Amino acid sequence: MRIKFWGVRGSIAVPGPDTVEVGGNTSCVEVRCDQTLVILDGGTGMRLLGQSLLSELPLEAYVFFSHVHWDHIQGFPFFTPAFIPGNRFHMYGGNNVTHTLEETLAGQMDYPSFPVTLTDMAAQMSFHDLHEGQVVRIGETNPIEVVNARGNHPNGVFAYRLTYKGKSLVYATDTEHYSVIDPKLVRLARNADLLIYDTMYLPEEYSGEVGGLPKTGWGHSTYVHGVELAKTAQVGQLVLFHHDPSHTDADVAAKEKRAQALFPKSVAAREGLVIDL
């Protein structure tokens, strides 16, 4: 597996001089399993990913959406390969919303919100609404196995585990643990090589000691909870992900150091970061 980060922010894109090192685009992660392309989430980073893929046409890719809040789907209407005939995209997402994945993606492109519609995209697309625990196998020889578990987030969210040729990646964004480390995520992440985890808030922000407003129930977590999950599940490496839009490059670097003091194999996600498994 080769993992590349194209968008690492949460809530809203934040370009500017204070975010240029970490990046300001919202969630999008590219996973290559040999020649097979898997895309995790379609935030604004998906636009940049799309530009990088234009030299590889025709394309076939498997896109897994954790959920359909704006910061995880807003890059899709700007994903150039989706407008090019001959490309094929298999789209997966939870059935825990009032509309199907296809209806939701079409809705954000409806008039008057966007000038073109989903049906204007010329690539071939198939949509798959997942249920919890469903296993998706991609390919026949040495298949990629994708399994999901529900996280804790308003309107619902799925975490995914990708396993290929004995290596495993867990993508768990937009979730929190509440009083105990989420047992579903512990099971999902058990012995994974890499855990990409939502660390949007610092512990003092989550509790309300800083900022004046507790973030409990907002559906996001901290690096402390990420470390606890990584240790409990015995994962190989922890990636701090879904950075708060108010956090500068210096803030993210400081968070990374605090996490490394607890779990040395921690790294903050940055646009362009590549991890090979």
pLDDT in tens, 195-245: 999 999 999 999 999 988 999 999 999 999 999 999 999 999 999 999 999
Q: Enter the tokens of residue 131.
A: 């249920």
| Four-point Cα dihedral 6, 10, 13, 15, nearest 10 | -80
Q: Which domain holds residue 121?
A: 2-276
Rounded Cα distance between 205 and 140, Å, is 46
**At 156, phi and psi to the nearest 5?**
95, 155
Number of independent structural domains in the chain: 1
* Torsional sign, CA 274, 62, 245, 197: negative
pLDDT digits (tens, 9 = 90+) for 59-72: 999 999 999 999 99
Q: Report cis status (omega within 30 of 0) of the bond before 112.
A: yes
Per-residue pLDDT band at 140 (split at 50, 70, 90): confident
Q: For the domain that residue 222 is a member of, what is the CATH number?
A: 3.60.15.10
pLDDT digits (tens, 9 = 90+) for 101-139: 999 999 999 999 999 999 999 999 999 999 999 999 999
In this prediction the pTM is: 0.97
Q: What is the pLDDT of residue 146?
A: 98
